[in-house]
Structure 1
């Protein structure tokens, strides 16, 4: 594992094992460079670098600075089409006409009249992309910087602490444990990182691996190493392992093309299947959901060559339709078809997670007498349900006492669509009883902290119930999380770099009123709207391209501002070499270049499968303050020519549904801990803390006791009980 990855994931710098020496000059230089990107090295980190041999100190400093700058997007040059942005941005039509004049007026020494220009154009149609000036930088990055005054430092600028960690081996093992033992599913990037770590950390002891996808990643490494699979208790666990070992989708959302397995690997996989089914033929019911994939897997495992695994052969017999196996879900559906809701609930007690996920449907279709039976059945199995599912169902039920503003569906790939909510709401007393049952179970599982010190900024963060509801990046929060927005000017930015085809991303902003109706937009088709300003359209990104939008908070009257990135043409978000979105805040008098790393509040990757990215939404509160709510969603869009005007209705409905939803936040679990007797106090900078404390916040501050346990964004999923 390299140092940069550890820094990027934990904001800790592994200790170097290099010889001692005098690296004081390097330490001072490193600290100065970090300050320009909004970072501050702790005293321990500076002392460590200063105590290294100069060459080794330089190598470590280069890794630290490179990783820190990349986190906020400062590893690339962010040029803007209009060199004076946000000043000097012309009217949209005037700009287009100037591009036409530049292309078609032969005498550059005089300005042609509109009549002359029309005569030169004749009757032909001219595309903007055909004009030499349009969509291509007309100046270098150095010229852009020369055109802007230096950024004036402000106490409001972001300062992120970088701390000294343990040895590289210790930090690697700690990161491995954090990922493997996560109580919630990981995102794509973290799953890939776990797979990379699994090869070198096979002997690291783990307390538990509750998420099945994580188990499959670890088992795929064991399979390659010739070891037996562990913690396998369903046939799908084996299928996931085979998919991961073949470089496919461990989540089973997409089909996998299996590779050829060695005889040793075939024996391991078949032995695992045989062990799962032995003595429990009910496990065969899961085969029906993925019968095609099991048939394909059987073609690669050759189960007929291994007569000592008869139960494994039954798996493939069910997949081929030669043997019947009814699943728990199938028997429950039969009970539903017979209007026997209580019977369906009783059947689902054999699959506790499925019962909890079906609780809304069961209660919605139950009579008053059956509602008691359903809640009794749920109460019996709560102890067998994962904490993640409990939290997810608790959040869902908290929104079911009244119809949703809009019913929003999201996929694992973060695709989203909206429809009308036609479900009748659940009775308020039923919702209250069900939520009380879940809260009691969660309370019994929550960790017992002697003294919990909470940064108020973390209370509105939605519980990270899945890494797939987020993106990799810097200070990125889970979907539904809200945070306060400071600064007089809000500036969005996007940067992308194409892989092989000419690719045009368009940063845009949809403006909505208090009723979520269209109130304007800013994009390449409308460079200005009120005080909002667009930096100009860049249409080719072979060397990388950046676009910006300025939103002066006191000049924009919209109640909601929805930044989005539309793919106009070329490669998708998951095809380009690099793709990011972020936002900065600054005061007007600070000046500076379009991109200033120390003003970046968050930066997230964009790797979804849709053609329109909706990373976040900003809302104006009644008191004039602003909040940011993370979405991490993608619209399918069109294959090409996506524009903010074309998707405004769907976007407005989606935003309305997302903002009206009540998410289960950190505040809810903190409230349960407080009610259970945990001492909870609010973090105040400068106030000394005595005794053992656990700090809960977005980032770790200075001033905590040396022995304090710290839970920040990178470990927030530890709050979710197993």
Structure 2
């Protein structure tokens, strides 16, 4: 399992050197075989593989092939409705397509077609290199996740849980401090789950009442972000005493508990603090205040009162005691206060107490504050990748005040980064401007490449993009899904987001735009798939620019309730060569597992030849219907929102680090530290970036 995780996260393998001399034909054959999946071995990895016995190498190779197939989606059988896709769809008459669809809807049987003879794959594929790793490097990658200062994904949590469950001594992996509170609840909960914890080990991580609440949520398999309510399980007496003891040590707890008053009241009904009136006196008193609505003046109440009276100066004075909240309310205060210099000066006094993620976001916000954007886009906290876009009605702010805030944030960040180890000569790739800094990976899907939502990736060479979808119905948690129909669609828009064309189960082809759908399959007892081919030159020639790829659960099941569902895309130079699904041409693949029925994995910008990574899982909404025709208003809104995002980017982040602890050079081969799309620290090294560069 260790190599399964390591391969997915870092494209590396841990292989202990043997004392044999493996015949070269074994390695050559293995490398030729995994080329079909789009991978190859590095020279250091080959060097160690040569020392294995035949039996050791065979075992490693068989597991590796299974893991690689799972990564790219080749572990399942792809049988589209039209096996000669796309040619069979483009050549069939409208009547033939219509009759085939109707018969399938009635019988659920696929039409019988001979698979057309296909040329071997003509595309030259850039192979992904699998490198040699080490135990220390693997442990550090997990430690980096635990130390992340921003939220991590469910996939990250699964990897951490496996590590903590299987390691003999968790202290070899655990850092001295866990900066993100969500991770505190999850990690401590995992240690308790596998009986790897003692009070001395965990109490240093629990510092506030909300930390204890997150721990109780984690032990109840709930959402540690606290974005959603959790049904607390019944705790054993020892667990109740532990939670109360941790809560008691947190000092003044009432105000913190009032933030989540009703959840604490429900938790108190399970913890029974009154059973220990002397041992946990503070806990008993705090629960008494919550349950009986006793008056208690809170910091938040004072700030809200100042804001109601439009007293920005008083609010700023109060917020100086909580710098992070000050930073988040800064725009609001500046809109209230005519003399903005006072608010800016007060923020400057406490800016060094604000966390790095918040400073980066504040700096970017005020750098672009007066730019005229039609929409403001938010990603609400929680485990579902939602996006909310509203009209931008904010009035302009004083330009000097905005610039002063930007410079304050920049100065604090450079001073902070200067305390980290020196980087030496540094090369920074300009293309990193297109990659968003990872601040919230909480709702990120498991994918072949982990990318931050809103990032723009370059399209590889080629003229045809082939989207793919695979899903299966069956039993999940003892409940059968029933018939499952997931629909794949692609909608084309011009540069102004005016509708151009769509390809979906209602419109299988477009001769003008040379695009086609492989056929609508409406049941998947053994798995089903759909494909869409998009011809880039044809769409650009006739004025198209954006393509929104979307998936709809037509039968209404949420993706999290399916045994398996994933989607992705391939770039093809020769669409008619090779198989319909060629693993080596897969560029991206992601699992669909959110509690939603609609997903937008990517948006293509054909004018810039970029892929905008969306990974959005949308809830049902009046603007979102279960087919693409009924979804136009919502699709356009999401498209406009994702293509106009203004978020901190990796280029600016790494430039701050270079200014603080390095010297910029113009060539990568002259640098000791490289930040680039393809080498050194890349946008896909999210764990490393979160723990080491958002410091």
The reply to whether residue 450 of structure 1 matches residue 424 of structure 2 is: yes
**1:550-569 equivalent positions in 2, closer than 5 A:** 550-556=533-539, 557=542, 558-569=544-555
1:597–1:236 CA distance, 2 compared to 1 (3 A): same
| 1:421 paired residue number | 392
Q: Following the alignment from structure 1 to structure 2, what is the Cα–Cα distance between the partners of residues 662 and 255? A: 31
Q: Following the alignment from structure 1 to structure 2, what is the Cα–Cα distance between the partners of residues 710 and 364? A: 36
Q: Following the alignment from structure 1 to structure 2, what is the Cα–Cα distance between the partners of residues 610 and 195? A: 25
1:207 is displaced (CA, Å) by 4.6
**1:13-162 equivalent positions in 2, closer than 5 A:** 13-16=13-16, 20=20, 22=22, 24-90=24-90, 93-99=94-100, 129-133=105-109, 136=110, 138=112, 144=115, 147-154=117-124, 157-162=125-130
Q: Following the alignment from structure 2 to structure 1, what is the Cα–Cα distance between the partners of residues 178 and 486? A: 39
| 1:227 paired residue number | 198
Unaligned runs of 5+ residues in structure 2 are 475-479
Equivalent pair of 1:498/1:571 in contact (CA under 8 Å): no
Aligned length, in residue pairs: 667
Aligned alpha-carbon RMSD (Å): 2.7
| 2:333 paired residue number | 362
Query: CA offsets, 1:492-536, max 9 Å, x none?
Result: 112222233211111101111111111111101011232221111
**1:343-382 equivalent positions in 2, closer than 5 A:** 343-367=314-338, 369=339, 371-382=340-351
| 2:522 paired residue number | 539
| 2:587 paired residue number | 601
Unaligned runs of 5+ residues in structure 1 are 104-127, 702-707
1:323–1:197 CA distance, 2 compared to 1 (3 A): farther
Matched residue SS, 2:69: helix
1:249 is displaced (CA, Å) by 1.5
| 1:410 paired residue number | 379
Moved more, 253-262 or 544-553: 253-262
Query: CA offsets, 1:251-291, max 9 Å, x none?
Result: 112222222323332222111111112xxx3x422222322
Which of 430, 442, 458 is equivalent to 1:484?
Answer: 458
| 2:567 paired residue number | 581
| 1:629 paired residue number | 612
Query: CA offsets, 1:165-190, max 9 Å, x none?
Result: 114xx455223202111122101221
| 1:649 paired residue number | 633
The reply to whether residue 163 of structure 1 matches residue 137 of structure 2 is: no
| 1:106 paired residue number | none
| 1:471 paired residue number | 445
Equivalent pair of 1:567/1:641 in contact (CA under 8 Å): no
| 1:717 paired residue number | 690
Which of 279, 288, 296 is equivalent to 2:266?
Answer: 296
Equivalent pair of 2:18/2:51 in contact (CA under 8 Å): no
Q: Following the alignment from structure 1 to structure 2, what is the Cα–Cα distance between the partners of residues 75 and 273? A: 47
Q: Following the alignment from structure 2 to structure 1, what is the Cα–Cα distance between the partners of residues 646 and 682? A: 30
Query: CA offsets, 1:35-89, max 9 Å, x none?
Result: 1111111112122222112112111112222222322222222222211111121
1:137 is displaced (CA, Å) by 6.5
Matched residue SS, 2:553: strand
The reply to whether residue 211 of structure 1 matches residue 192 of structure 2 is: no
The reply to whether residue 333 of structure 1 matches residue 301 of structure 2 is: no
Query: CA offsets, 1:455-510, max 9 Å, x none?
Result: 55444211011113632211231011112213111111122222332111111011
Q: Following the alignment from structure 2 to structure 1, what is the Cα–Cα distance between the partners of residues 309 and 298? A: 17
1:542–1:451 CA distance, 2 compared to 1 (3 A): farther
| TM-score, length of structure 2 as denominator length | 0.90
